[in-house]
Every structure is written in C-alpha cells, then in structure tokens.
Structure 1
Amino acid sequence: MRRALTFALALLCLPAFAVELKPFSASYTADWKQVPVSGSAERGLQALDDGRWQLSFEASMLVASLSETSTFRVDNGAFLPQTYRFERSGLGKGKVVEQDFDWSSKQVLGSDRGEPVRFALNRGLQDKSTYQLVLQQDVAAGKKSMSYQVVDGDEIETYDFRVLGEETVRTRAGLIDAIKVERVRDPTQSKRKTILWFAKDWSYLLVRLHQVEKDGKEYQIMLEDGTVDGKPVEGRRD
C-alpha cells in the first residue's frame, strides 16, 4: 500500500504546456478499495520571481501524509530541475529525500533516507516531479510512446509510457474528454498496472489515475475541482 500511495500521489496532477507553461491548482479525492476512508490531495504550479517554476504537492490519506516540492527552469523547451524535496510519514517507515541539481558542475547531490547520493547530471535527466511535466508535454504534442530518465531515490530509473487512446471521464467537475495513458512495465518483473487520463480541453490536466498492485489491490484518484491559468475546470453535464 505504501508504494502504491507514493507513486499514485506523486502523479496527482500534471499541467500541460505544449505551447506554454501555465499555472494551475487542483484537488483530488483518493480511494483505496480495501480502505473505507477517502483521502485528499492538493497540487499546484506557480511561477517564481526569479524565472523558476515551483511544482508543489500535499496529500493525506487515513494516517499517511506526503509532501513534495520541485523547482525548475525551462530553457529552449528543455526542463532543467533545480531542487527536489520529498517527505512521507505514516504507512510504516517515514522517508525524506533531498536533491540539488548543479548544472554548472553537472552533478546531482543529495540524500535518500539520510544516505548521501551523487549522480552525473546531463540534459534530459529529471526528478520525480519534473518528469511528469515532460510526460504532460509529450501527451499534449501527440506522442504515442515516451521514455524518461528519472532520479528515483538512490538510482536512475527509466520510466516508460504509451498512449492507449481517448476516453470520456466522469468527474465531479463534469464529463471530460481525456487521453488515456499507461505506464509500461516488464510483466516478468512487475505485475503492477498504472493508467492515467489527461483532459484534452483543459491543458491536459490529470483527471483520473487508476493503479493495481501486484497483489490485486486497487487505488484510484479522481479530479474534484481545479483551475488552469485561472479558469475553473468545467466538464459537460448530462
């Protein structure tokens, strides 16, 4: 359950910017089929005064809480992470991750659960928040398959995705036309499944996420309400 919550909440909201990066805010409900209590989350993207952007996230579910903040710059369409902070409490052991991306020395320096980490930094490497923005951009641009190199704790992992098609999602904000995307995993290595739905008419905001764990347990996140570039998200009504 801890891994499912961490991954699912990390993907709660993705702003779209095929043309330009837009600020957003969104709230979600989170449901674990084996737990009778729903959770909630808030995520937002804002421009900072120094030219950077900040993507922030707060979530809670039952006795668990999670916070994540990433700052980054955009340079000729490339997303350059600057700092990444993650903290989780509840659901067993807590976790704290800190990463600083030093583009002058081309190094990622930080710590994972108190253990120091260091990686070579090359253009294209993302943290666990900024890769979501790149995924969002690629979906908006019409790509059908995507792959990203991501600093994941004390390792660099490859995250693969593919587009499955279009589907209408029923949310509290109304019926929203969405692009359905699947995270691709090696079935011989993992039985986990993750499906995401991005709103076509609302800058490809994430409106739904459904995850199945290797033991068959299911987890779902659904859009409650949100704004993109200051405009309230509104779907069609029956």
Structure 2
Amino acid sequence: MITTYPKTARSFSRISLLALLCCTLSNIAFASGGGISAIPDASPKMLVQVEPINAEPIETQTTKPQTIKTQAPKSGEILPYQAEYKISSDSLSTNATRTLSKQGNNWLLSQHAKLMFIKVNEESLIENSKDGLRPLHYEYSNNMSSKQDQSINFDWATHSASDKKYRKPWSSKISDDTFDQLGAQLKMREAIINNRLDKEISLTVVNRGKHKTYTVKQLGEETIDSPAGKLQTIKLLRSRPGSSSETTIWLAKDWNYLIVKLEQREDDEVYSLELLSATLNGKTVKGLRQ
C-alpha cells in the first residue's frame, strides 16, 4: 500500500495543477491593455488573513413568469464567489473548493483540495491597478513534499518576479501581461466580462521560474448539463505550440463567466474539472428553468 502513495500523490498534484493551469488560460497577454475603469487603483499589499465579506445578492428581473433568469453583471463588474468542483482523472477523483473574495481593494483567489492524506492549497493575491488586474503574490503548498512549495512575489516597480522559497530559488523579468497560474483565470474572466476577448488571444504564465505562452481560441457557445443545472456557456480551447496538451474550458455566460467545466487532454490521458455548486455574490448558481 505504501508503494502506491508516490503514484497517487504525483497524479493528484498534477490534476490539481492542471485544473488551475487551464485557468492559466486567464493569464491572457492583453496587448491592448486597459483595465476595469470601475475598479479603483490600489497599492500592493502582502498576503494577510482574509476576512469574510457580506456580499449583497444580485438583483434579478422577471418580466414574465416563465422567464426567470439572472441578469448578466454590468460591464467591468467582477463578483466574489465560492464554488465546489470535482476533479477527476482515470479512477481518481476529489473535490476542490475555490473562493474569490475582496481584500481591501485587491482580490484574493484561493483553491483548496484534499485526496486521502494529500492536501494542496493555492492562493493568488491580485491588484486592481489603474491598468487592470495584475498579480502581487502567489502561494502553493503540497503537504506531500515541501520541495514543491512556491511563494512568488511580483515587483511591478522593477517588472520582476521571484521565488526564494522554491527548492531552486529564481528571479526573472516579466512583461505587463505575466500572471501566476491561478490568478491568470481572473484576468481571463475580466477580459470576457469587458468584451475584450477576441477569437484568438495569447497568454503568458510564470511557474517555477519558467515562462510559457499559450494560445486561447473561442470556439463558440454551448448549453451544457452540469450538477448545478443546465447552463449557457462560451467554449474556449487552450493550446501551446510544440505541446500535445489541449484544454477545453466552458464558462457560464449568466454567472459572471464562472468555470463550469474543463477537460485537458494530453496524449492518452484526460483530466477534468466540473462545477458541483457555487454561490456568486451571495446568490446560488442555478441552471436554466424549462
């Protein structure tokens, strides 16, 4: 039984990573720049204890009894949420909790997952700058091996990122569009919410000192069945030149473009992420009513 631990640990770590890597999709390199004008500028802050927020529920409009549909958020409006996901690969599966909350004028995006004795935690602190979202700090911890721990600091005064906690400390220059693998998903959603997602975009992610650029294509729209109900989504495809890995991701149109489903294919392996339940700005995410 002991001999199965390393294999399980490696597999789970990879699944967890991939679930966010697809969101690394969010690490979109928006050459056009421009931020969310509705969000004020903020000074960088270090990661501190997050206090829960009391969010106001989203108001809905129902002009007809049979049309009960939540209005899409206004342009530029990112909303806090808490979501439960199922992560699967072959015979392995586990649940992960992902939370987006306000911390002062910044956003804190976190994910926590557990499989048997394995725990994986990730957090990304993201600044609301006048030029849009940009990362300030990223943390990754895996209780199976401290060698995998990461603690990335982003210094925008010098346009550099560094990690002195990783087993191989590193420091490198970064471009304006660089994000960590978790916070990148919020940047992607910001672009979609603000109608800045073209048919094809590129993105850059820094992870363990390495920079990788991805291409994201918008494939269209699709209504899919999920444990949370039938949801209208936009469908994206992420790929990287020279890599056999491709990721398909579905985002809920009527729910602030939350990730509803994700599938990553690499050679003969398939990893998936599926939304089980969520609350957006205090309102329970529900599917379309027939």
TM-score, length basis structure 2: 0.72
User: Any unmatched runs of 5+ in structure 2?
Assistant: 1-10, 27-72
Aligned to 1:108: 161
Q: Tell me the distance in 2 between the aligned counterparts of 1:228 and 1:4.
A: 25
Deviation at 1:134, TM superposition (A): 1.6
Q: 1:57 aligns with which of 107, 111, 116?
A: 111
Cα offsets for 1:49-103 (capped at 9, x unmatched) = 3x2211111112455432111112112242121111112345x895111111122
Cα offsets for 1:81-134 (capped at 9, x unmatched) = 1111112345x8951111111223332121463211111244222111222112
Q: 2:17 aligns with which of 6, 31, 53?
A: 6
Q: Tell me the distance in 2 between the aligned counterparts of 1:146 and 1:154.
A: 23
Aligned to 2:77: 20
Aligned to 1:48: 103
Deviation at 1:168, TM superposition (A): 1.1
More strand by share: 1
More helix by share: 2
**3-state SS, counterpart of residue 113 of structure 1:** coil
Aligned to 2:65: none
TM-score, length basis structure 1: 0.86
Aligned to 2:127: 73
Cα offsets for 1:3-58 (capped at 9, x unmatched) = 344112455798x98512211110011222x21x5310001111113x22111111
Q: 1:231 aligns with which of 274, 279, 283?
A: 283
Amino acid at match of 1:195: T
Contact kept, 8 Å, 2:213 with 2:240, in 1: the verdict is no
Q: Are residue 158 (structure 1) and residue 213 (structure 2) matched?
A: yes
CA RMSD for the aligned pairs? Answer: 2.5
Amino acid at match of 1:136: R
Q: Tell me the distance in 2 between the aligned counterparts of 1:77 and 1:20.
A: 15
User: Structure 1 152/176 Cα, relative in aligned 2: closer, same or farther at 3 Å?
Assistant: same
Contact kept, 8 Å, 1:79 with 1:124, in 2: the verdict is no
Q: Tell me the distance in 2 between the aligned counterparts of 1:100 and 1:17.
A: 32
- What is the number of equivalent residue pairs in this alignment? 230
Q: Tell me the distance in 1 between the aligned counterparts of 2:249 and 2:207.
A: 20
**3-state SS, counterpart of residue 167 of structure 1:** strand
Using the TM superposition, name which of 21-30 and 123-132 deviates more.
123-132
User: Structure 1 73/136 Cα, relative in aligned 2: closer, same or farther at 3 Å?
Assistant: same
Aligned to 2:177: 124
Matches within 5 A, 1:60-209: 60-62=114-116, 64-90=118-144, 95-111=148-164, 113-140=166-193, 141=195, 142-186=197-241, 189-209=242-262
Amino acid at match of 1:81: P
Q: Tell me the distance in 1 between the aligned counterparts of 2:222 and 2:147.
A: 37
Deviation at 1:159, TM superposition (A): 2.1
